[in-house]
Amino acid sequence: MNRVPIGIALNGVTGRMGYRQHLVRSLLAIRDEGGLPAADGRRIWPEPILVGRNPAKLREIAERHGLTDWTTDLDGVLARDDVRIYFDAQVTQQREKAIRAAIEAGKDVYTEKPLADDTAAAVDLYRAARAAGVKHGVVQDKLFLPGLRKLRRLVEGGFFGRILSVRGEFGYWVFEGDWQAAQRPSWNYRAADGGGIVVDMFPHWQYVLERLFGPIRSVQATVATHIPSRVDESGITYEATADDAAYGTFELEGGIVAQINSSWAVRVHRDELVEFQVDGTHGSAVAGLRECRIQHRGATPKPVWNPDLPATERFREQWQLVPDNETFDNGFKVQWERYLHHVVDGTAFPWDFAAGARGVQLVELGLESARTGRRIAIPALDL
């Protein structure tokens, strides 16, 4: 067979992200398409090995998808010669030691964000991966979403003129778990288990802001735990000790001011669960996960403030939809394809552990800002 089989140990595959986005929507989807064309004309063929703690769940997932290779023995799988890549979608706190073991075993490593619990550990993982000569990468899926790719197209095409500001609104109501089951895992709401919306979302905002608009020079954040107690998967009430909302201001190089609200205690009055409004001298855009709308300076209305009169214009209708102009695949799958090319063909992969460490740094400094009430400068990492 004209295939390049690549053994991939998938750890945390019973979880929300590991199963749905990474196994099913990415690796199995690549197999459904007959593999990924490699530079030499052969087909890169992912061979998933499901890794986790619960044999029954692993066996059930394997059988559901016609797979046979699963194990609860991480060290054993890392010792196998036919395993080339270690992938981690475990709860964040388990990540560092597993990645370290994978690097020591000489595996290429790809991981969910955040890379580690703190900046020092993330930088250390970067150094270890570089020293071992393994290929490393961190999931930065939002960059591959249709809405943000259209936004990037606008930035690169010079649509905005000089970009002034970015306003992001992310969130939805996560049920408390009492009268309706919560739609996120309970560890997300316990600080001791690595939970919190800053840890969860600031890594995303770091790479979105940096890649689309420029490096982040400072952060100021206010965080809150709006819902103090929740009910977990077993029906037990627990204290929510982690932040469930974060109100952040980020100053970017070149003077762009970005503000992003992140909340699991907000109800959606938006078109999508995340939206970014970008205002520039020549035009503005509002991008969500899928869609992107624009208003050019030439089509900008001239409202006059008069609270005595009802709104005279239908402002939302004055925006124009950006066309797709290309086919957009699942964002996680697109990044997996780039990573597999990086491993097999040696192509560039900028979403590496150094990029992941910058995401962790923004989490750490954002939380420091919230604790101290200060705006915190973001120094370049000493890699």
Ligand X SMILES: NC(=O)c1ccc[n+]([C@@H]2O[C@H](COP(=O)([O-])OP(=O)(O)OC[C@H]3O[C@@H](n4cnc5c(N)ncnc54)[C@H](O)[C@@H]3O)[C@@H](O)[C@H]2O)c1
52 is a contact residue toward ligand X (CB under 6 A): yes
Minimal distance in Å, beta carbon 11 to ligand X? 7
The one segment of 10-18, 165-173, 344-352, 361-369 that binds ligand X by CB under 6 A: 10-18
Q: Residue of minimal CB distance from ligand X? A: 15
Nearer to ligand X, 7 or 356 (CB): 356
- Of 16, 297, 374, 375, the one binding ligand X (CB under 6 A) is 16
CB 70 → ligand X: shortest distance, Å? 12
In the bound complex, what is the minimum distance in angstroms from residue 302's beta carbon to ligand X?
A: 40
Q: Considering beta carbons, is residue 160 or 176 the nearer one to ligand X?
A: 176
14 makes contact with ligand X (CB under 6 A): yes
Q: What is the 3-state secondary structure of the chain? A: CCEEEEEEEEECCCCHHHHHHHHHHHHHHHHHCCCEECCCCCEEEEEEEEECCCHHHHHHHHHHCCCCCEECCHHHHHCCCCEEEEEECCCHHHHHHHHHHHHHCCCEEEECCCCCCCHHHHHHHHHHHHHHCCCEEECCHHHHCHHHHHHHHHHHCCCCCCEEEEEEEEECECCCCCCCCCCCCHHHHCHHHCCCHHHHHHHHHHHHHHHHCCCEEEEEEEEECCCCEEECCCCCEEECCCCCEEEEEEEECCCCEEEEEEECECCCCCCCCEEEEEEECCEEEEECCCCEEEEEHHHCCCCCCCCCCCCCCCHHHHCEECCCCCCCCCHHHHHHHHHHHHHHHCCCCCCCHHHHHHHHHHHHHHHHHHHHCCCEECCCCCC
Among 15, 37, 214, 215, binds ligand X (CB under 6 A): 15
Q: Which of 83, 139, 287, 354 binds ligand X (CB under 6 A)?
A: 139
Provide the mask over 90-129, with x wherever binding to ligand X is found by CB under 6 A and - wherever it is not: xxx-x-----------------xx----------------
Please answer whether residues 93 and 117 qualify as being in contact, where contact means their C-beta atoms are separated by less than 8 angstroms: yes
Q: Which of 89, 223, 294, 367 contacts ligand X by CB under 6 A? A: 89
- Please state the closest distance from residue 280 (CB atom) to ligand X, in A: 27
Q: Which stretch binds ligand X (CB under 6 A): 84-92, 220-228, 300-308, 343-351?
A: 84-92
Does 17 interact with ligand X (rule: CB under 6 A)?
yes
Choosing from 3, 53, 97, 296, the residue that interacts with ligand X (CB under 6 A) is 53
CA dihedral 283, 288, 292, 298 (to 10 degrees): -20
Give 126 or 202: the residue with its C-beta nearer to ligand X: 202
The footprint of ligand X on residues 182-211 (CB under 6 A) is: 185, 200
Binding window for ligand X (CB under 6 A); candidates: 16-24, 215-223, 243-251, 345-353: 16-24
Task: List interacting residues with ligand X (CB under 6 A).
Answer: 12, 14-18, 52-53, 89-92, 94, 112-113, 139, 141, 185, 200
